[in-house]
Amino acid sequence: MPAGPFPAMLPLLLALAEPAANAAPEGPIEGLKHTFEHFGVEPKFVLFQTISFLILFAVVYKFGVKPTIATMEERNKKIESGLKNAEETQVRLTAAAQESAQLIKNAQLEASKVVEEARKVAKEFADKQNAEATARAADTLAKAQQAIELEHKKMLNEARSEIARLVVKTTEQVLAKKLTEADRAAYNDAASKELSAI
C-alpha cells in the first residue's frame, strides 16, 4: 500500500461511521442528509449560495467575460485584418519594389541614352568648331598670302615704274643734249607725214 492521506483520515472516518453503525439502518438519502447535517450543510444556505453564485456569474459574465470575449474577438479580427493588410502591403511593396526597380532601370537606360546623345552632340559640335576654326585659319592664311603677293606685286610695279621713270628722264636729258637741229628737223618731217596720213 502506498503511503498517502488515506491512513491519516482513517480514524476520522471511523468516528463518523460509529454512530451510524449503532443506529438503526436508514436509506441513502437519509444518510446523505445526516452527512450534510453533520458537516453543517444547510439546504437553504446551499440554495442562497447557488443563487449568489449565479448572480455573481451573471454579473461577471455580463460585465467581465462577455466584453473580454468581444474585445478578444475584435482584437483577433484586427490582428487578422492587420495580417491580411500586412500581406497585401507586402505584395504591394514587392510590386512597388519591382516597379521601382523597373523604373530605375528604365531611367538608367534613358539616362544612358541622354548621356550618349549629349556626348554625340558634343563631339559633333567640337568637330564642327574644329572644322570652322581650320577653315578660318586656312582662309586667313590664304588672305595673308594674297596680301603678301599683292604687296610684292605692288612693290615690283612701283620699282618698275620708278626705274622706267628714271630711264625715261635720263633718256630725255640725253636726247635733249645729243639731238641736233638736223635730227629734229628730220624727225619733224617724218612726224608731219605720219600725222598727214592719219
Residue ranges in contact with another protein by CB under 8 A: 160-161, 163-165, 167-168, 171-172, 175-176, 179, 181, 183-185, 187-198
Look-up of cell digits 605720219: 194
Rounded to a whole number of angstroms, the minimum distance from the CB of residue 159 to another protein is 11
The residue (of 133 and 163) whose beta carbon lies closer to another protein is 163
Closest distance of CB 196 from another protein, Å: 4
Q: How far apart are CA 31 and CA 17, in angstroms?
A: 11
- Please, which residue, 147 or 164, has the CB nearer to another protein? 164
Give whichever of 127 and 189 is closer to another protein, judged by the CB atom.
189
Please tell me the distance from the alpha carbon of residue 122 to that of residue 147, in angstroms, as a whole number: 36
CB of 163 to another protein, least distance (A): 8
Count the neighbouring beta carbons within 10 Å of the beta carbon of residue 143.
10
**CA 126 to CA 131: how far, in whole Å?**
8
* Helix spans in the chain (H): 5-22, 28-38, 43-60, 66-178, 181-196
Closest separation in Å from C-beta 190 to another protein: 8
